Amino acid sequence: MLTISNKGKLMPESPIRKLVPFAEKAKQKGVKVFHLNIGQPDIETPPAAIEAVRNSKIKVLAYSKSEGDIELRNKICNYYSKLDIKINNSEVIVTSGASEALLFTLGSIMDPSEEIIIPEPFYANYNGFSVANGVNIIPIFSSIDNNFKLPKIEDFENLITEKTKGILICNPNNPTGYVYSRDEMKTLVEIVKKHNLFLIADEVYREFTYENTTHTSILEFSEIQQNAIVIDSVSKRYSMCGARIGCIISKNPEFISTAMKFAQARLSPPTLAQIASTAAMDVGEEYFDSVINEYNERRKTLIKGLNEIPGVKVSIPNGAFYCVVELPVKNSENFAKWLLEDFSLNNETIMVAPAAGFYSSVNMGENQVRIAYVLNQSDLKTCVNILKNGLAEYLKND
C-alpha cells in the first residue's frame, strides 16, 4: 500500500497562500481581488539589477559555488560594514532565499525532537521548517494588547529544558510589524549566554522601520558571536522576491562548516539571481529613503482606516510592512473565504491571510488576520472600505 509520510501529513498549509484557489475563482467570475495576504511589494526593483542580468556576457549558465559567488558575498560584507558590523566572506553562505537559510540553520543545529523557542505570532513558514526538520517549536505568547512586545525574561526561562537548542526571532517582525528595542535584545542576549543557546534572528526587514524606531542586530553583541546566527535576504530590501537569494551569517565556524554541507547537497544558489543581487547592493541610500517613506505613508493610511471600523483592533507596526488585525468574527479563515466566494463591493474584494497559521498554539489567532500594506494608498483605502462593508454584511449572519 502506498502511504504518505507522517512528516508530509503534518506539514501545514501556508495561511498566506492556501486561499489562492478561492481568489482564482473570484477572478474567473470577473471580480477584482486586492491581495493583502502576501508580502509582495509593488515597489519597482532597482533597474541596475535587471540590467545586470540583461547585459550579462555569460555563454554557459554554469553552477555557482555552493557558498555563493565571492563578489556577492563581498558585497554583503560591505553592506554590513556600513552598519558598523564587521564580517568576512567566509562567515556568509548564500542561499536560495531566507527560507533555505532557515532550513539549513535548523538542520545544522537541531536533531529530531529538540526544541526551539519562538515568540508567537511568527512567520507562518517557521511551522513548516520545524516539521521538515522534525523539531519542536515551543511558542511563547505575545499579545496584541501590548502590541506584541517581547515577553518577560522569566517567561523564556520557564520554557527552557534540556532539549532547548535556541531562540528564533524575526526583527522587525512578520506578521506583527513589531521592532524589538535594544533593551529587549539585551534580554535575549542575556538568556542565550546564560543557557548556552543559539540566537537566530531573521532580519530581512531591517531597513523598514518607522516613527524614529531603530533596528538592533544580534551581530552587534560581541559577547554572543558564537551563539548568533542571522538570516538575511534581498527579497524585501530591493523588491526582488522572485530572485530567491538570501544568506546565513555567523561567526561560529563549526556552524558555518556544517551549514556548508547542506549547501553542497543542494549544489548551488541560482547564478542569474546572484548577478542581479550583486548589482542591487550598489543601490544608494536615496532608494531606501523614498521606499521607506512610501511604506510609512501606506502604514498610516491603513492603520487610520482600520481604527475607524467598529469592533476592529489593530496592532501598530513600527517595522516591516504587516500588521495583525483582530476582527469581530469567530473564525477569520471562514470570513476570508466568504470575502472571496460570496462578497464584493463594486465588483471588488480583498484577500487576507488568516492569522491562526502564524501561531503554533492551538486555537490562537482564530479571529485575527495579517494584512500586508504593499499596495498604494488609494488601493488601501478601497480595501479598508471593502473590509468595513464586508464585516457589516457578514456579521448579520455570523
Predicted TM-score (pTM) of this structure: 0.96
Q: What is the CATH number of the domain that holds 339?
A: 3.90.1150.10
Percent of the chain with pLDDT over 90: 94
- pLDDT tens digits, residue range 6-42? 999 999 888 888 899 999 999 999 999 999 999 888 8
pLDDT of residue 160: 98
pLDDT of residue 15: 81
- pLDDT tens digits, residue range 180-231? 999 999 999 999 999 999 999 999 999 999 999 999 999 999 999 999 999 9
Taking residues 127-139, report their average pLDDT: 95
| The Cα angle at residue 300 between residues 295 and 305, in degrees rounded to 5 | 125
Same domain? For 73 and 131 the reply is: yes
pLDDT of residue 104: 98
pLDDT of residue 314: 97
What b/e sequence results for 282-311 when a residue is b if at least 16 CB atoms lie within 10 Å of its CB, and e otherwise? ebeeebeeebeebbbebbebbbebbeebee
Among residues 224, 246, 280, which one ends one of the domains? Answer: 280
pLDDT of residue 267: 97
Number of structural domains the chain divides into: 2
pLDDT of residue 16: 83
Same domain? For 253 and 123 the reply is: yes
pLDDT of residue 292: 95
Instruction: Report yes or no: 369 and 16 within 8 Å, Cβ to Cβ.
Output: no
Among residues 227, 258, 280, which one ends one of the domains? Answer: 280
Same domain? For 127 and 33 the reply is: no
Look up residue 313 and give its three cell numbers.
483592533
Taking residues 154-174, report their average pLDDT: 97
Taking residues 284-311, report their average pLDDT: 95
pLDDT of residue 284: 87
Sign (positive or negative) of CA dihedral 243, 316, 144, 168: positive
Instruction: At 169, give phi and psi (nearest 5°).
Output: -130, 160
Taking residues 314-319, report their average pLDDT: 96
- pLDDT tens digits, residue range 237-258? 999 999 999 999 999 999 999 9
Same domain? For 341 and 267 the reply is: no
- Local confidence band at 397 (pLDDT 50, 70, 90 cut-offs): confident
Q: Does residue 322 carry a pLDDT above 80?
A: yes
Range of the domain at 271: 61-280
Q: Does residue 398 carry a pLDDT above 80?
A: no
Among residues 257, 280, 303, which one ends one of the domains? Answer: 280
pLDDT of residue 303: 98
Same domain? For 232 and 302 the reply is: no
Taking residues 302-313, report their average pLDDT: 98
Tally DSSP H helices, then E strands, for the chain. Answer: 13, 13
- pLDDT tens digits, residue range 136-160? 999 999 999 999 999 999 999 999 9
- For residues 190 and 97, what is the distance between their CA atoms, to the nearest angstrom? 30
**Does residue 54 belong to any structural domain of this protein?**
no
- For residues 207 and 7, what is the distance between their CA atoms, to the nearest angstrom? 36
pLDDT of residue 60: 96
Same domain? For 10 and 151 the reply is: no
Taking residues 329-339, report their average pLDDT: 97
